[in-house]
Chains A and B, each alone.
Chain A
Amino acid sequence: MIELGELEKHRQEFEKRDVRVVVVSLEGMEDTKATQADFPHLTIVSDEPRRLIDAVEVLHPKSSPTGGDTAAPTTLLIDGGGVVRWAYRPDRVLRRLSVTELLAAVDAELR
């Protein structure tokens, strides 16, 4: 949730660059609605049936605190034609891109 909070907090930096932030998880609609309410300027997507997460191959099996599956923290930059321009996967679950790092990648890869 820290990651989403930072993305929401710095939303103007993304708006300035005309870039939308889409957040995808395996969670069902109830949790997705709650997350959307918490972070109203992000686009929250539910992928409970795992069609997107399987297609992109980011499933992290048995990695939630309750032993369930999660989406491995991964960040993609996608251009307006649906083409991936940059992909980032941290080497540890605890690691995330800072907003500064992400904006630098946006500036470099999504011009």
Chain B
Amino acid sequence: MNAAVSASPSRGHVSYWVGVGLALLGIVLMFLQFGMRILVVPWYMPALASLGAVLLLVSVLRRMTIVRVITLVLLTALAGLEWFFIGSMMKLPDYQGPARAGAAMPAFTATLADGRKFTDADLRDGTRRVMVFFRGRW
């Protein structure tokens, strides 16, 4: 009897903390990934948060407390936000422009950092180039 009473408060305890830990792990891994300069889409982040939310649900089903329910709601919202952020907000449209394999670069004029002009004629000087379009310095 005593053993049953003392075990009761910890029902779902492991699920709760593993769930919270997985959601936090996704965020930590994302920071580590970008800190290591690896520019891939961190799909694992919403996946881990979702798995965390499932474990939180298991925890709530085993023993419902206000704290667990609030944590479940927060973690579910976090997972949803992360899926929306990566799945929708970060999505880029497919490239439909004229710069396709085999096509000449269209005419343009731009400016080098030293103020000189840079045009499509410069691209025909025999030098091979990688042209990277960059979002900005922020």
Instruction: Write the residues of chain A forming the contact surface with B, with a CB cutoff of 8 angstroms.
Output: 1-7, 14, 17-27, 29, 31-36, 43-48, 51-53, 55-58, 60, 63-66, 70-87, 89-96, 98, 102, 106, 109-110
With the chains together, A18 CA to B129 CA distance in Å? Answer: 9
Determine whether B96 belongs to the interface, using a CB cutoff of 8 Å to chain A. yes
A89 touches B94 (CB 8 A): yes
Residue of B nearest to A24 (CB): B133
B107 to chain A: which residues have CB within 8 Å?
55
Contact of B130 among A32, A35, A51, A102 (CB under 8 A): A102
Contact of A65 among B41, B94, B138 (CB under 8 A): B138
* A19 nearest CB across to chain B (Å): 5
A-B interface, 9 closest residue pairs, ranked by CB to CB distance from nearest: A57-B97, A36-B113, A82-B123, A96-B39, A89-B95, A71-B133, A52-B108, A80-B126, A55-B106
* B107 nearest CB across to chain A (Å): 7
B101 to chain A: which residues have CB within 8 Å?
84-87, 109
Best-buried of A17, A56, A57, A110 by chain B (most CB within 10 Å) = A56
With the chains together, A14 CA to B101 CA distance in Å? Answer: 20
Given A51-B108, A78-B105, A84-B100, the answer on whether A71 and B135 have CB atoms closer than 8 Å is yes
